């Protein structure tokens, strides 16, 4: 009878250990499964955002090339002329100044998206600021004001050219197939 009593105690202890082990596994599964699905969801959202960002940058690339080229031409125009020789009317008709509002509107979409890029944010700021300077100048034209606005526009154009070149370089490096 001692042997059966020992077997009974062993079976009861074994059952308790199996139940304890099952409880630990159940707790682990209850925690691990939601964490796994949450991680998969975050990776999916991150990949979706990265795809969105890639599409946006690829779509924006021709505009950035145009902005860089017109900005360079705008800046070169001022490097070849002295301040007193600059024809304000001719300068205001430059492609760069005509395109500032167009580029600002395109980047306005970016600013309200979930896509974040520090350089593109800075470029947007420079364009929005240039647009405001240009708007002020067009509302109140005067020769003295033009010289003040001209210097601000040139400073912003230099920053715009710098940011545009960096962004183009980054896009070409990240998304080129070679």
Distance CA 40, CA 107 (A): 31
Question: How many other C-beta atoms are found inside a 10 Å radius of the C-beta of residue 55?
Answer: 11
| Model-wide pTM > 0.75 | no
Of 79, 80, 76, 58, the residue nearest 68 (C-alpha): 76
Letter string b/e over residues 29-50, b meaning 16 or more CB atoms within 10 A of that residue's CB:
eeeeeeeeeeeeeeeeeeeeee
Share of the chain above pLDDT 70, in %: 75
Question: How many other C-beta atoms are found inside a 10 Å radius of the C-beta of residue 93?
Answer: 10
Asked if pLDDT for residue 144 goes beyond 90, the answer is: no
Q: Tell me, what's the pLDDT at 23?
A: 94
């Amino acid at each position: 009878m001692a042997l059966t009593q020992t077997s009974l105690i062993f079976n009861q202890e074994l059952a308790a250990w199996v139940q304890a082990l099952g409880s630990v596994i159940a707790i682990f599964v209850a925690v691990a499964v939601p964490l796994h699905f949450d991680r998969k969801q975050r990776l999916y959202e991150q990949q979706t955002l990265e795809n969105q960002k890639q599409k946006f940058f690829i779509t924006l690339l021709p505009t950035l090339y145009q902005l860089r080229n017109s900005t360079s031409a705008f800046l070169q125009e001022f490097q070849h002329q002295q301040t007193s020789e600059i024809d304000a009317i001719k300068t205001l008709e430059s492609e760069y100044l005509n395109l500032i509002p167009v580029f600002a509107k395109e980047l306005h979409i970016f600013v309200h998206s979930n896509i974040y890029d520090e350089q593109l944010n800075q470029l947007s700021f420079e364009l929005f600021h240039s647009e405001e300077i240009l708007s002020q100048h067009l509302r109140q034209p005067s020769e003295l004001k033009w010289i003040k606005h001209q210097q601000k526009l040139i400073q912003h154009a230099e920053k715009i050219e710098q940011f545009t070149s960096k962004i183009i370089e980054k896009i070409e490096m990240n998304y080129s197939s070679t």
